[in-house]
Structure 1
Amino acid sequence: MILLAAPMYGQQFTWEKQTFSAINSIAKVVELDGAKVLEVTRDLVKSPFDINNIENSVDGPTFVKLANTDIENGIIEVKMLSKIQVDSPFPQARGFIGLAYRIDEANTQFENIYLRPSNGRADDQLRRNHTVQYFAYPGYTFSRLRKEANGLYETYADIGLNEWIDVRLEYQGEKVTLFINNQKSPNFIVNKMLGKSTRGSIGLWVEVGTIGYFKDLKVTKN
């Protein structure tokens, strides 16, 4: 891997002819597998992680946010790859990587679907069932939804760490569908999203212990 640009903390930057802001995250343009890609990690200074209070220190606004974007219904397409940091502050890190959407201007409300790639091929079926996750910020964390909805907001997918994953996310009204690796049928469906935000920007999202890589981003208003 070759570093092509200095880390970007909070300020706006351009990638693939689009302008972004790093929100509670650190972004770099690097070369991976012969292509220039965006590397994103959570900024643990701006967004501290407390291993003794996990529920209240995850599933937050830790993303790079597309500037000058206000979408109610749309389609997001991107390729993503995740690795687990060598010195991860969270030993149970799963390579958390995903997409935030309908992000309000102040980053206080948004919807999100993310992947846990290391779960996808685990020998434990329960872990496999937790490969794909929906949450809504604020309030509807993975932990709360797992307790109250018994698996309705997560599912299995055949994915893994250190490999490019094609993701297509379509959201319309209260419904969102996720397609992985060009499957014809959705891998995941949420028929009634829980967030209060009805429109906004999109974000390339990562969580603690993850090095996330993104390329070939395409956003379409529906």
Structure 2
Amino acid sequence: MNISGLFKKMTIAVAIGTWSLTAVAQNVSIDLSKLVLNQSVRAVNREVSMVENGAKGSYIHLNEKPGAGVAWLEGVKFTNGTIEFDVKGRNVLQKSFVGIAFHGSNDSTYDAVYFRPFNFKSPEEERRNHSVQYISLPGFDWPKLRSQFPLKYEQPVNPAPEPEDWVHCRLVVENEEVSIYVNQNLKPSLVVKQLGNQKGDKIGFWVGNQSDGNFANINIK
């Protein structure tokens, strides 16, 4: 059964035990600190740490390493609906790629949407045009998409956020269409049709090659 905005059985481990939540067309906020405390965040090619009392309250930090990395939120399932979260990268050229992976089947098969904050306010139009990106792995990574479909799967963000500010992302997945809204903008920064026919339901925070990243306040509908 595929119902928009449905966690079929979202199981979250908490300090006093384990509880299950089935939500239909409801907003569900994920307590990231409890997920980390109970080892319900599984990192791939990264280490995960929890930062307390930051600008966004408690948030997750993924460290910098070569290659892409994902922090899967174990027990949290998503197919269609809306994911909202806050993300913070850095203004360092080619060393800040931050976003979210979804429709994951395994550690190398998933869709992802991510930002290149160092391009947000670049004086070069070509770099600004590469500010937000959609990919579908393993078949459609960014080099292939940029080469074969220029500016179809990546776009600028207008108005452009400050490169080192927290950015609020609203990702809407409906009828095989992916739309990305940034901060309070009513117009999406990027709208694409899904590629790769991904059928998985795993989600996780994503960082690219040589990138770290901070993530907070994830809410799923």
The TM-score by the shorter chain falls in which range?
Answer: 0.7 to 0.9
- Aligned residue for 1:33? 55
Residues 45-124 of structure 1 correspond to what in structure 2 (within 5 A)?
Answer: 49=67, 60=68, 62-83=69-90, 92-104=93-105, 106-124=106-124
**Structure 1 alignment gaps of length 5 or more:** 1-11, 50-59, 86-91
1:24–1:42: 8 Å Cα contact kept in structure 2? no
Q: 1:67-120 deviations in whole A, cap 9, x for unaligned?
A: 1133221211111101267xxxxxx4251100110111x323111110001101
SS of the residue aligned with 2:146?
helix
Cα distance, 1:84–1:118 mapped onto 2, change above 3 Å: closer
Q: CA deviation at 1:34?
A: 7.0
Q: Which of 7, 23, 44 lines up with 2:44 in the alignment?
A: 23
- Aligned residue for 1:153? 153
- Aligned residue for 1:175? 177
SS of the residue aligned with 2:90?
strand
Cα distance, 1:34–1:198 mapped onto 2, change above 3 Å: closer
**Cα distance in 2, alignment partners of residues 71 and 35 from structure 1:** 25
Q: CA deviation at 1:43?
A: 4.3
Q: CA deviation at 1:30?
A: 1.6
1:103–1:202: 8 Å Cα contact kept in structure 2? yes
**Cα distance in 2, alignment partners of residues 181 and 34 from structure 1:** 14
2:91–2:118: 8 Å Cα contact kept in structure 1? no
SS of the residue aligned with 1:134?
strand
**RMSD (Å), alpha carbons:** 2.2
What TM-score do the two structures reach when normalised by structure 2? Answer: 0.77
Q: CA deviation at 1:160?
A: 3.1
Identity fraction in percent: 25
**Cα distance in 1, alignment partners of residues 45 and 63 from structure 2:** 9
**Cα distance in 2, alignment partners of residues 144 and 168 from structure 1:** 25
**Cα distance in 2, alignment partners of residues 213 and 162 from structure 1:** 11
What TM-score do the two structures reach when normalised by structure 1? Answer: 0.76
- The letter for the 2-side match of 1:150 is P
SS of the residue aligned with 2:126?
helix
- The letter for the 1-side match of 2:32 is W
Q: CA deviation at 1:42?
A: 4.7
1:79–1:164: 8 Å Cα contact kept in structure 2? yes
**Cα distance in 1, alignment partners of residues 58 and 191 from structure 2:** 32
- The letter for the 2-side match of 1:112 is A
**Cα distance in 1, alignment partners of residues 100 and 131 from structure 2:** 14
2:32–2:216: 8 Å Cα contact kept in structure 1? no
Q: CA deviation at 1:36?
A: 2.0
